[in-house]
Amino acid sequence: MGEILALAALHLAYHRPDQRHERLATALTLHQESSQRAMGLLKDLNPQNADGLFIFSSLTIVIAMATPKRSQQDGIPAGEGDFEDWIYLIQGTAELRTAFEQECSESCLTGMFSFSRQRWALHNVFHPSYDQRDEVLCQLEERVRDSVPEGEKLNVLIERIGSLRSAACNIPNWESTDLFFWLYGGIDGFLPLVKARDQEAWAVLAHFCLMVKRAETQWWLKGWADCMMRKIHMQLDEEHKSWILRLSEEIGWIPPATQ
């Protein structure tokens, strides 16, 4: 309940900027109290409390995305938000996933999981006829194949690009669950590369920003596509910055002028 109230306070802060300071303080207090209770439950993770902990962890991700201040144009100012904070929170669901797999049929969240899996499977079927429908991702795949030697890293990157290509062709409007499903699919192979600041992985992650942009219908997602692009652009070297030029144009994000 504390996480829900914290998110409600952040929602008020978003719509009433003049009350942001007070609402943010309330949200952080409620979130801290909920976190302390959740930490106690995590010491004894079992199928009985896994539902509640999964809901808590999911709301924590949303709260992390909802917390940064927004401009009047819904942009996130530099220094207000870091996408790595909430991306890596998704890795914390791995242990909870194991608990759900053990007792999935008795989970009250089974219906939601089934719907999300079916939606993703339906829209994530690759059709060869779509090859030329997303030239940006096709070009990215070619560059990755030319730059990365055969091996596990190449396989991981190509799989993530393929997932983006399939979904980009089939899902005109992404939802937040689609974003989390895509990131969740990269927990074991892709996210470790991102955490290691791998240049090719960060270039692939930049193309995920297009999907984030399409999902910015929810208030707590607004501004994150541009915020992610800004940090990714800063982390890439000159060669890999050239990989995301066409993507920047498609998103409508303008890279900072070089000095």
Half-sphere exposure of 218 (CA within 13 A, CB side): 17
- The pTM of this model reads 0.86
Question: Which DSSP string corresponds to 153-190?
Answer: HHHHHHHHHHHHHHHHHH-SS--HHHHHHHHHTTTTTH
What range does the domain containing 176 cover?
131-251
Same domain? For 27 and 74 the reply is: yes
Contact (CB, 8 A) for 165 and 132: no
Same domain? For 157 and 76 the reply is: no
At 51 the pLDDT is: 78
115, part of any domain: no
Same domain? For 144 and 236 the reply is: yes
Question: Which DSSP string corresponds to 98-144?
Answer: HHHHHSGGG-TTHHHHHHHHHHHHHH----GGGGGG-HHHHHHHHHH
Look up residue 13 and give its two tokens: 């802060």
How many domains does the structure of the chain reveal? Answer: 2
At 132 the pLDDT is: 47
Which residue in 79, 66, 63, 69 sits closest to 18, CA to CA? 69
46, part of any domain: yes
Same domain? For 197 and 247 the reply is: yes
pLDDT of the chain, 259 residues: tens digit per residue: 789 999 999 999 999 999 999 999 999 999 999 999 888 887 877 777 777 888 888 899 999 999 999 988 899 998 888 999 888 888 777 666 665 555 555 666 666 666 666 666 666 665 444 444 578 899 999 999 999 999 999 999 999 998 888 766 555 667 788 888 888 888 889 999 999 999 999 999 999 999 899 888 899 999 999 999 999 999 999 999 999 999 999 899 988 875 4
**Residues contacting residue 40 through CB under 8 Å, at least 6 positions apart:** none
Same domain? For 84 and 173 the reply is: no
111, part of any domain: no
CA dihedral (49, 51, 52, 54) in degrees, to 10, reads 120
